[in-house]
Amino acid sequence: MSENIKKRPIYIKIKDEDNVAITVDKVLEGSQVMEGITAKQDIPQGHKIALCDIPAGGNIIRYGVTLGYAINDIRQGDWINEDMLSLPTPPSVDNMKWGVDIRTDLPKPERTTWEGYRNADGFAGTRNLLGIVTTVQCVAGVLNAAVKRIKDELLPQYPNVDGVVSVTHAYGCGVAINAPEAKVPIRQIANMCKHPNFGGELMVVGLGCEKLTPDRITDRLGSDTVLILQDYKGFGAQVEAIMALAETKLKRLNQRKRETLPLSDLMIGMQCGGSDAFSGITANSAAGYASDLLVSGGATVLFSEVTEVRDGVYLLGERTVDEPTCRKLAEEMKWYDNYLELGGADRSANPTPGNKKGGLSNIVEKAMGSIAKSGTSPIVEVLSPGERPSKKGLIYAATPASDIVCGPCQLASGITLQVFMTGRGTPYGLEAAPVVKVSSRTDLKEMWPDLIDIDAGTIATGNATIPEVGTQLFHFILDVASGKKESWAEHWKLYNDMCFFNPAPIT
């Protein structure tokens, strides 16, 4: 980070060896950016300026890392956009080093407890929800009608229950359920049955002729859990049966109370979406600091998004605590490389047009920023998409980078709150767990005051430090987890669909 933090800087240069910097605000052609360097064109906010001449083929360096190679000669002061550099080959995941970057002096949190709903086993809940998991999309219409009535007619009678979540999805039938990768969506749906925010009072609604039979997702197959629509005499009877079963669950859920719990009972997820060139140095860095505080206090933090760590994966490998964890990290990367290749794509399919508008030239630059949200803690475990952890601490949960798929994957792993960093801005939310939104730029917080919870843009403008915003975020996470505050996405009930990851074919 440049020296001139605490007064509004013009540019941000991250490492000494960088030959580019990003602009804090839009810079006009001819204006001086730093001593001896004048912008040769108008440069949009957050975009890169060349700090020296870079010949064609030369390395373009930010974060101390080669983002790519200059396609043509670049002059000092030039705006470097995404068309001016070529993508380097991705780093090999074979023979990554492990355990060589294990930090032991993590910052200590001021708070070590929170208020949650204790579960018989595993992590505690941040909300007290009636969860209804479906085996197949066919039931969605009937279930939606029933859930509307449950919310309108029953829920008001059970004030200690926070909501009703129907986990409807596109899977369940018309799928190649014995294909090798079918385990991925099935694992996610099965693990949603165990979600900590559902308090053990599970309902499963199936149709009766689908491929995803209830026994594939739960071993609780009694009539106090599973309801099959084909067993009931038509729509009216189906809705009544769902409501009757829901009421028995609501009665039990209504008796649950929050308790003071150690941070080790909390598991949250980190994700970013609509990123820009500030994301890595503001929002994701603050999230990384909050993550360090949480992990240091005993909590479990998941971070994800394979294509967005792929180009810096060796940095994560060095932080894994043992060889098997490092090897699983490599395996998840290879699996995704192969998955993309089979589909005729590669990691260059990420980033998005919005990322590019925000100054992110390619996936290397996006990855370096994305990894920042993991903070500096050791990585104790690596999960396949939707797997539940067996350890506590910082965990890499492999998922697609797609926001709307990463969310359901992390939910399946059991997160009970998600922190979402955004540069361009997205109203994304989840019904099964509150989502806290952090902006990378103050402009976005000002544009979306009723959607962004925490502004990390103050880090770029010199008004706050990474530890300050990180600590603010840490407290906000615990307040939302404890039910003392609600995030904007939760307040407005902004819920995205449960777009589970299905890499297997449909039939």
Site residues (CB under 8 A) for a copy of itself, limited to 426-455: 426-429, 447-451
Burial of 469 (0-12, 13-18, 19+ CB in 10 A): buried
Q: Is 63 one of the binding residues for a copy of itself (CB under 8 A)?
A: no
Stretch that binds a copy of itself, among 102-110, 173-181, 367-375, 465-473 (CB under 8 A): 173-181
Find the binding residues for a copy of itself in span 218-257 (CB under 8 A): 229-230, 233-236, 238
> C-beta of 315: minimal distance to a copy of itself in Å?
20
Length of the chain: 507
Q: Is 424 one of the binding residues for a copy of itself (CB under 8 A)?
A: yes
Q: In Å, what is the CA distance from 213 to each residue of 6, 62, 187, 218?
A: 59, 51, 13, 9
Q: Is 81 one of the binding residues for a copy of itself (CB under 8 A)?
A: no
Find the binding residues for a copy of itself in span 262-301 (CB under 8 A): 273-274
Nearer to a copy of itself, 168 or 285 (CB): 168
> C-beta of 435: minimal distance to a copy of itself in Å?
10
Q: Is 340 one of the binding residues for a copy of itself (CB under 8 A)?
A: yes
Q: In Å, what is the CA distance from 482 to each residue of 216, 255, 265, 289, 410?
A: 33, 17, 12, 20, 20
> C-beta of 314: minimal distance to a copy of itself in Å?
20
- Count of H-run helices and E-run strands, the chain: 12, 22
Q: In Å, what is the CA distance from 433 to each residue of 46, 182, 363, 486?
A: 32, 25, 29, 11
Q: Is 56 one of the binding residues for a copy of itself (CB under 8 A)?
A: no
Nearer to a copy of itself, 34 or 404 (CB): 404
Residue 312: half-sphere exposure toward Cβ, Cα within 13 Å: 27
Of the residues 92, 157, 160, 507, which one makes contact with a copy of itself according to CB under 8 A: 507
Of the residues 191, 218, 271, 307, which one makes contact with a copy of itself according to CB under 8 A: 307
> C-beta of 420: minimal distance to a copy of itself in Å?
11
Nearer to a copy of itself, 225 or 275 (CB): 275
Of the residues 339, 388, 443, 479, which one makes contact with a copy of itself according to CB under 8 A: 339
Of the residues 179, 183, 254, 475, which one makes contact with a copy of itself according to CB under 8 A: 179
Query: What is the full DSSP assignment across 259-318?
Result: EEEEGGG-EEEEEEES--TTTTTTHHHHHHHHHHHHHHTT-EEEE--GGGTGGGHHHHHT
Nearer to a copy of itself, 239 or 330 (CB): 239
Measured from the Cβ of residue 318, the count of other Cβ atoms closer than 10 Å reads 17
Nearer to a copy of itself, 258 or 424 (CB): 424
Find the binding residues for a copy of itself in span 380-419 (CB under 8 A): 400-406
- In the numeric block, which tokens belong to residue 364? 């290397």
Across-strand partners of 501? none
Tokens 């929800």 belong to which residue?
129
Q: How far apart are CA 357 and CA 350, in angstroms?
A: 13
Q: Is 57 one of the binding residues for a copy of itself (CB under 8 A)?
A: no
Of the residues 204, 207, 293, 459, which one makes contact with a copy of itself according to CB under 8 A: 207
Q: Is 32 one of the binding residues for a copy of itself (CB under 8 A)?
A: no
Residue 217: half-sphere exposure toward Cβ, Cα within 13 Å: 35
Q: How far apart are CA 501 and CA 192, in angstroms?
A: 13
Q: Is 354 one of the binding residues for a copy of itself (CB under 8 A)?
A: yes
At 452, the amino acid letter reads I
> C-beta of 100: minimal distance to a copy of itself in Å?
30
Site string for a copy of itself, 153-172 (x = CB under 8 A): ---------------x-x--
Q: Is 497 one of the binding residues for a copy of itself (CB under 8 A)?
A: yes
Q: Is 355 one of the binding residues for a copy of itself (CB under 8 A)?
A: yes
Find the binding residues for a copy of itself in span 109-148 (CB under 8 A): 137-142, 144-145
Total of residues contacting a copy of itself (CB under 8 A): 83
Q: Is 44 one of the binding residues for a copy of itself (CB under 8 A)?
A: no
Residue 79 and residue 220 in contact, taking contact as beta carbons nearer than 8 Å = no
Q: Is 208 one of the binding residues for a copy of itself (CB under 8 A)?
A: yes
* Residue 492 C-alpha from the chain's centroid: 20
At 406, the amino acid letter reads C
Burial 359-374 (b: 16+ CB within 10 A, else e): bbbbbbbbbbbbbbbb
> C-beta of 31: minimal distance to a copy of itself in Å?
27
Q: In Å, what is the CA distance from 88 to each residue of 66, 262, 309?
A: 8, 45, 15
